[in-house]
Structure 1
Amino acid sequence: MSTVAFVTCDLLDDNPDKQLQVVTPSMDGKFFKSYGARKSFGGQVVTVKCFEDNSRVKELLATEGRGKVLVVDGGASMRCALMGDLIAESAVKNNWNGVIIYGCVRDVDAIAELDLGVHALAAIPQKSNRKGVGEVDIPLSFGGVNIQSGDYIYADNNGIVVAKEALVEL
């Protein structure tokens, strides 16, 4: 398992000259929780937008992801999970650093054992329907930030920070 390479609080303190964005908890109680064994993770962003269909999530995490974090805008749906243990295992096998889901995950006890950073809004046992719907590499906006493929993202138990350039070597 990887060791903690950074603390998001320190990234903000150490980079006052950079225009860093911080994902904010919303007033309606939506905030990210950590589900993976990696409590500190980051990397170059790959974006996907999908609503209650994890087809693109599964496809992307089955490709090489060294140095990358998949950021999924699931529209904050609380009706089904966009990632479970099998897809998370595929992410580990393909060297992804982490996955951030603006939505839900499932199989949380199994995911907690995997060497993968995972942040999501909640857990739910219901799986998504796969219809092949979703957009990849498009700009996303949630939690008061704008994120696009190629950005860098850093997450730990303090929160999530988005940058236009790498802040630490992971």
Structure 2
Amino acid sequence: MERDFTTPDLCDDFPDSRVLHAQFRSYGRSASFCGQAVTVKCFEDNSLVKALVQEPGNGKVIVVDGGASLRRALLGDQLAEKACLNGWMGLIINGAVRDVEILATLPLGVFALGAIPLKTDKRDVGLRGVAVDIGGTTVHEGDWIYADASGVVVSSTNLLAP
């Protein structure tokens, strides 16, 4: 489900909000999405992403710090389909994805730095629920994420609450 907001308006209305200073590309069908962050830190190993998308998402957003690596894809069509089925709103990936033609058809927000066809090795390496630094901005588990074509806004409070 897409939300009625734009990130430029959020930045204007809430000047203390933070933005991710990285040039993400949208790969999912949902061009804008928002929700509370669930964080993962991993490098060229998507074991934790795989485990997380199998859990109930409850409208949250997975924020993955993949160290900006474009050598291995941290998300592909199978994990994205699981994320859709389990109620995740989207993923912000500081790294690469694959199966981009299929990702574009799924009702999910997917922002990543780029694409590559190589999958990761599964070594069960990484951290979950930790603060991650992406594009010079720290994202904490539970922060609110707002993403659209203009960028990604991060806030410790729900900016759309009535």
State the TM-score, normalizing by the size of structure 2.
Answer: 0.96
Structure 2: runs of 5 or more not aligned: none
- Structure with higher strand content: 2
* 1:81 counterpart letter in structure 2: A
Match of 2:96 in 1: 104
* Aligned equivalent of 2:76, options 80, 84, 92: 84
1:42 aligns with 2:37: no
Number of aligned residue pairs: 161
SS in 2 for 1:12: helix
Note the alpha carbon deviations across 1:30-88, whole angstroms, 9 max, x for none.
x2100000000010000000000000001001100012000000001111100000000
Q: Please, which of 68, 74, 78 is the counterpart of residue 66 of structure 2? A: 74
Q: Distance in 2 between matches of 1:75 and 1:87?
A: 20
Matching residue of 1:12: 11
**Residue pair 1:52, 1:79 contacting (<8 A) in 2 also:** yes
Decide whether the 8 Å contact of 1:4 with 1:39 is kept in 2: no
Distance 1:35 1:21 in 2: 23
Label 1:99 to 1:3 Cα distance change in 2 as closer, same or farther (>3 A). closer
Distance in 2, Cα, partners of 1:39 & 1:119? 9
Per-residue deviation, residues 130-165 of structure 1 (Å, max 9, x unmatched): 011110000111202110101011100000000001
**What's the TM-score, normalizing by structure 1?**
0.92
SS at 2:145 equivalent: strand
The DSSP-based 3-state class of the residue aligned with 1:92 is helix
**Aligned to 1:22, which of 19, 22, 42?**
19
The aligned amino acid for 1:73 is D
SS at match of 1:77: strand
Amino acid of the structure 2 residue aligned with 1:163: S
3-state SS, counterpart of residue 147 of structure 2: strand
Deviation at 1:3, TM superposition (A): 3.8
Q: Percent identity?
A: 52
Instruction: Provide the C-alpha distance between the structure 1 equivalents of 2:140 and 2:14, rounded to a whole number of angstroms.
Output: 20
Q: Which 4+ residue blocks in structure 1 deviate beyond 3 angstroms? A: none
Between the aligned partners of 1:110 and 1:57, the Cα distance in structure 2 is 18
Q: Tell me how far 1:4 sits from its aligned partner.
A: 4.2
